Structure 1
Amino acid sequence: MRHGEFRHPRLVPVYDAECPWSRDDDWFLAVVAGTPAVRVVDLGCGTGRLTVALAAAGHTVTGVDPAGASLAAARTRPGAERVTWVEGTSAVLADESFDVAVLTSHVAQFFVDDDDWARTLADLARALVPGGRLVFDSRDPADRRWERWNPVDSRRRITLPDGEVVRAWTRVRAVAGGRVDFTHHYLFPDGDELLSSATLRFRTEQELRDSLRAAGFVVERMLGGWGGEPVGRGDGEFLVLARRQ
């Protein structure tokens, strides 16, 4: 299944258990807090870990995701009633309805084709008020993160809330043209093995800057790590803070 950890009812809880709150959530929450009580759209919100925290911080928040199973889990979180949940893509966003847009957990890399990425940025520019902020993360291809996605280095044990332990590993199938194809394997105690395949796009700093400029954004800052390190240092990230012109 493509993107099974977001779409398969048995894999969504595994994703949640494997991806608890971490310093990237702290970073996004702090960035949005720079403009108090704003209207925020969390595009690709998944199961809503950060989305509900943004709402709890006093923002008016809309969580948008195309995966119904992930949104079903999001709606069960404590505080979920403070969020407006929408199943869909950036195309559903109303004009000039938000002050801040966030794409977290490397959601930006799921827009593999340049046309899809351009349309998404155009939708976000349309949905933001003039001067509205866009904040997202994308992995720096120079870090070559995919080289660690192999059955040995990626092997892990994921403990679910009920104590069940799922064994998981990742295998890269192809790397070409900034695209990385891979498959996550999840082995459950009952012997059931579920596979989730995906393709991510690793855009360079210049590619990101050019695409943002074409969509009408000005890049204010681009960082390389969650501690505020410059690009090329830190965590192998591009942390992008842009503003609609």
Structure 2
Amino acid sequence: MSDYDARLVDLYDQDNPDGPDHDFYRSVADDYEVKSILDIGCGTGILTATFAREGRTVVGIDPSETMLAFSRRRQGADTVDWILGDSRAIPPKQFDVAVLTGNVVQHILDPEWQRTLRDLRAHLRTGGVLAFDSRNPTARAWETWGSQERSRRDTPHGPLVEWADVSEPDDGIVTARFHNQFLRTGESVTETARFAFRHADAFGRQLAAVGFEVDAVYQDWVRTSFTPEASFMVFVARAR
């Protein structure tokens, strides 16, 4: 994959701050009193580093070296084992909990998603927990992403102008192009991303196929049971 622009990575935590979603994932780890936790697609590590406890192993994996470089500079970074790669880079051990947060599963297209699930099952102990979230395609979130109207904000790298182009789904895949213009230098950066929108029943079938049993599906971070019209889904599954 082409890596992210480091200036945009610097803004990631500002755009995606610690909040109730992170509280939920921390509660999953604490509820099960886990000794080892795996964060796939850990990004800047804003959540990953907070999983650390005395006697707990924390591993963060991400395919972006730029993201991991940021992670390694944050407070508490030395409590985490940061690994460049995807699920194929999971170290050879059995984890108690694995998480994929911030809708990261939508960045993993099929068949790589099925491979990721197989890798996760292979590295979770029997009874181990897998938790992740994804947008519900019924809510059509992509319709709010694209706009030719340009927004401007001040950043540590000078004024930044942003806008986006977004496609309609093609076989469940939405392609988005996020345009960024740095006014101080006149540079423009366009990041293209593809998002897989999967329905809840599809996730259920995929999980069952590789040896997971769904414990719960929520529609918010306070554990309200999922309903078909909800905007997103939070899955908690257990390795059989």
TM-score by length of 2: 0.92
Deviation readout 1:103-125 (Å, 9 max, x if unpaired): 00111111112x21111000000
Residue 208 of structure 1, CA deviation: 0.2
Structure 2 counterpart of 1:211: 206
Matched positions, count:
239
Report the counterpart of residue 183 of structure 2 in structure 1.
189
After the TM superposition, which residues 57-68 of structure 1 pair with which residues of structure 2 at under 5 Å, given as runs? 59-68=56-65
Matches within 5 A, 1:119-158: 119-151=115-147, 156-158=151-153
Distance 1:57 1:22, change over 3 A: farther
1:30-179 map, 5 Å: 30-56=27-53, 59-113=56-110, 115-151=111-147, 156-160=151-155, 162=156, 164-179=158-173
Task: List alignment gaps of at least 5 residues for structure 1.
Answer: none
Shift of 1:57: 7.7
Write out the 4+ residue segments of structure 1 that deviate beyond 3 Å after TM superposition.
Answer: 56-59, 155-160, 162-165
Q: Which runs of 5+ in 2 are unaligned?
A: none
Q: Per the alignment, in what secondary structure is the counterpart of residue 10 of structure 1?
A: helix
Q: Find the residue that maps to 1:212 and give its secondary structure.
A: helix
Q: Determine if contact 2:215/2:236 at 8 Å carries over to the other structure.
A: yes
The equivalent of 2:234 in structure 1 is 239
**Which stretch has the larger CA shift, 45-54 or 167-176?**
167-176
Specify the code of the residue in structure 2 equivalent to 1:106. N
Task: Give the residue type in structure 1 aligned to 2:116.
Answer: T
> Do the aligned partners of residues 119 and 45 (structure 1) sit closer, same or farther apart at CA in structure 2, a change above 3 Å counting?
same
Give the TM-score normalised by the residue count of structure 1.
0.90
Following superposition, the deviation at residue 61 of structure 1 comes to 0.3
Partner residue, 1:19: 16
User: Matched residues, percent identical?
Assistant: 35
Q: Which residue of 1 aligns with 2:193?
A: 198
Cα RMSD for the two superposed structures: 2.1
Amino acid at match of 1:142: T
Partners of 1:50 and 1:158 in 2: how far apart? 25
